[in-house]
Chains A and B, each alone.
Chain A
């Protein structure tokens, strides 16, 4: 979607239109102790230059070094890079920037929280996913994004830049439109015509006007626990039929178990077709407590503050096996004009702050046992300034 004339452009890597690259990698980086603002700005400028070269197919190590030879090239335009700034950049005593920290750009907090029902995994080191800078790489395939982050590392080493990549988190898009738990995912994402307004930062603080905020939550999924639930119980928690994706209309109790009843597949009327994406209000408290109803309370415009509209752009991950089980989950990535909205979505008890994933906190007969399906493996909030020369957010740093 094109920005209006005069409006700063969002950085690449935010896919408001149809389709998104298949591969994802988020690198978390920190400036070295004692690094000053000008040195930090120079380091990022160099990183951005090298990434720009790589996007054109230029790899530093295979540049021509001997007379008469040509540098070896790789495919161009295989990835997008997006730069974000974390709360620690603004920390007292860092002297990395004189500009003001956005109010809600804070560390997620450890070991408590950060959200009432989305808690850190017990073995997650403090600060996982948080850093001065994040570099989101999205691309054609795993090779494209992995190569990009390694090229950045080479640059840091070669030029002794005061920057280190502390962590990376990889992910991929599935081609079946489903998540690890086997259900449709992203169906209720904010509609395309509302996305631009949902992600744009209106200008508080001014340096991020026209940019956005990225929220990264690496959510580990307890797939073994999920698979122990019967299909009906899974559907009650999700709020959709597992196969068709049709929203659950009501549940029926036969004295032994609850049976979810889904709406029929979308038929002719506009209301029925829209209801697939946006299920209607329900008077059934069990259905109302399902994940899709909790996460999508309304379809108001993003300009309505209480609507809490965000744009989600998540990528699944598999992080090997641990104790004989796959360490899988979702790299939840959202872009929003204000971090307040995600805070509210994950904080309000009637939304996702009341239970982990879905269901009722006070369950009735036949309702699924409370399940701790999701735990936080890493996470951070980042300000994502609009595109700029020589790199996004260059104004944060002292000129060199």
Chain B
């Protein structure tokens, strides 16, 4: 959320771009990376140091790997991503790409691939019939660290992909792979008169040339109230709570993200999944993986402030 000097929300920005793309862009086309970041920050230009720190990306001795590493250090919170991302990727000046370690391309591939490689059936405790497992039931059966419960994404992806795999379908990633903004519930944000904000105020961007399937593949969303509207984003209310918009999360929860897979017909691949007893899924508050996820989210929130 971009705020004015008084701390009031003036613009909302959301990105689903993977850092892997930006590391390559910074490594091989640093000038273009700076140009794009300046666009996002709505400034004429951005100093190289803002993205690359002490490293001069235009020095004759600078190699792509050096530039990518420098970009990682400044914009993604270091190699282990434990520090706060720089101001051009933490919302203070701009937001460029996802910075969490588990939001990388590798993590996404590992998640889907792990789920696709372990067909599973469980025996329902009530009906005593075999059925497809839920995400939380399937995750413990996947290779360690390939998926994490207690997130919005992993259990849903795992549940869907495990089922597809168990049905014996061929599965591949859509091209181009990415996390895309599928839709925004613009009607859920109300102006001071109680009317929904116009859809055109929600700017979706960072989509390549549309593909024949017509599916949305946007990776960036911006919401800004035009000056002529006569009110600010801080005066917008969330229909679902009646409360004014103060935090980005109030808008982010109206955005649905997705990952596209290409899937073939069932029984194309012969699979055998022996039904096993459905594991008990404990409440969130009783699970160490959930505690870890909450701790990570809170830490990142603290870092970003």
Residues of A within 8 A of B (CB): 103-104, 106, 109, 112-113, 116, 191-194, 197, 202, 270-271, 273-274, 277-278, 280-281, 283, 298-301, 303-307, 339-340, 343, 347-350, 353
- Complex formed: what's the CA distance from A165 to B275 in Å? 52
* A281:B164 contact, CB within 8 angstroms: yes
Is B153 on the interface with A (CB-CB < 8 A)?
yes
* B183:A303 contact, CB within 8 angstroms: no
* Chain B residues closer than 8 Å to A299, beta-carbon distance: 132, 134, 159, 163
* Chain A residues closer than 8 Å to B160, beta-carbon distance: 281, 298
* Chain A residues closer than 8 Å to B163, beta-carbon distance: 280-281, 299
Query: Can you name 17 A-B residue pairings with CB atoms under 8 Å?
Result: A113-B239, A116-B185, A193-B125, A193-B126, A202-B284, A270-B121, A270-B129, A270-B275, A271-B166, A271-B167, A298-B159, A298-B160, A301-B136, A303-B150, A303-B155, A343-B240, A347-B188
Q: Is the interface of B mostly helix, strand, loop or mixed?
A: loop
* Chain B residues closer than 8 Å to A109, beta-carbon distance: 239
- Complex formed: what's the CA distance from A251 to B47 in Å? 56
Is B156 on the interface with A (CB-CB < 8 A)?
yes
* A305:B185 contact, CB within 8 angstroms: no
* Chain B residues closer than 8 Å to A305, beta-carbon distance: 152
Is B253 on the interface with A (CB-CB < 8 A)?
yes
Closest beta carbon of chain A to B111's beta carbon, Å: 14
Is B17 on the interface with A (CB-CB < 8 A)?
no
CB-CB nearest in chain B for A362: B214
* A278:B132 contact, CB within 8 angstroms: yes
* Chain A residues closer than 8 Å to B243, beta-carbon distance: 103
* B194:A112 contact, CB within 8 angstroms: yes
Q: A194-B134, A305-B152 are in contact. Are A350 and B194 (CB under 8 A)?
A: no
* A348:B183 contact, CB within 8 angstroms: yes
Q: A112-B194, A270-B130 are in contact. Are A304 and B185 (CB under 8 A)?
A: no
Closest beta carbon of chain A to B171's beta carbon, Å: 10
* B281:A197 contact, CB within 8 angstroms: yes
Instruction: Give a binary string over B246-285; 1 marks a CB under 8 Å from any A CB, 0 the rest.
Output: 0000000110100000010010000000010010010111
Closest beta carbon of chain A to B160's beta carbon, Å: 6
Q: A300-B156, A307-B156 are in contact. Are A104 and B134 (CB under 8 A)?
A: no
- Complex formed: what's the CA distance from A306 to B151 in Å? 8
Is B241 on the interface with A (CB-CB < 8 A)?
yes
Closest beta carbon of chain A to B141's beta carbon, Å: 14
Instruction: Give a binary string over B159-176; 1 marks a CB under 8 Å from any A CB, 0 the rest.
Output: 110011011000000000
Is B135 on the interface with A (CB-CB < 8 A)?
yes
Q: A193-B125, A306-B152, A306-B156 are in contact. Are A104 and B241 (CB under 8 A)?
A: yes
Is B187 on the interface with A (CB-CB < 8 A)?
yes
Smallest CB-CB A-B distances: 9 pairs: A270-B130, A306-B152, A301-B136, A304-B155, A274-B131, A192-B126, A300-B135, A103-B241, A301-B134
- Complex formed: what's the CA distance from A305 to B284 in Å? 11
Q: A104-B241, A301-B137, A348-B183 are in contact. Are A283 and B283 (CB under 8 A)?
A: no
- Complex formed: what's the CA distance from A192 to B283 in Å? 16
Is B224 on the interface with A (CB-CB < 8 A)?
no
- Complex formed: what's the CA distance from A278 to B166 in Å? 14
Is B124 on the interface with A (CB-CB < 8 A)?
yes
The one of B131, B155, B187, B263 in contact with A301, judged by C-beta atoms closer than 8 angstroms, is B155
* Chain B residues closer than 8 Å to A116, beta-carbon distance: 185, 187
* Chain B residues closer than 8 Å to A298, beta-carbon distance: 135, 156, 159-160
Residues of B128-147 at the interface with A, using a CB-CB cut-off of 8 Å, are: 129-132, 134-137
- Complex formed: what's the CA distance from A191 to B239 in Å? 31
Closest beta carbon of chain A to B32's beta carbon, Å: 34
* B281:A301 contact, CB within 8 angstroms: yes
Is B242 on the interface with A (CB-CB < 8 A)?
yes
* B263:A300 contact, CB within 8 angstroms: no
* Chain A residues closer than 8 Å to B159, beta-carbon distance: 298-300
* B284:A193 contact, CB within 8 angstroms: no
- Complex formed: what's the CA distance from A280 to B162 in Å? 12
Closest beta carbon of chain B to A164's beta carbon, Å: 25
* B132:A193 contact, CB within 8 angstroms: no
- Complex formed: what's the CA distance from A347 to B127 in Å? 32
Q: A197-B283, A306-B152 are in contact. Are A340 and B253 (CB under 8 A)?
A: yes
Closest beta carbon of chain B to A262's beta carbon, Å: 15
* Chain A residues closer than 8 Å to B292, beta-carbon distance: none
- Complex formed: what's the CA distance from A349 to B125 in Å? 34
* Chain A residues closer than 8 Å to B156, beta-carbon distance: 298, 300, 304, 306-307
* A304:B152 contact, CB within 8 angstroms: yes
Give me 9 other A-B pairs in contact (C-beta within 8 A), A192-B127, A301-B281, A348-B185 excluded.
A106-B241, A106-B242, A192-B126, A193-B126, A281-B163, A300-B155, A303-B149, A303-B290, A350-B256
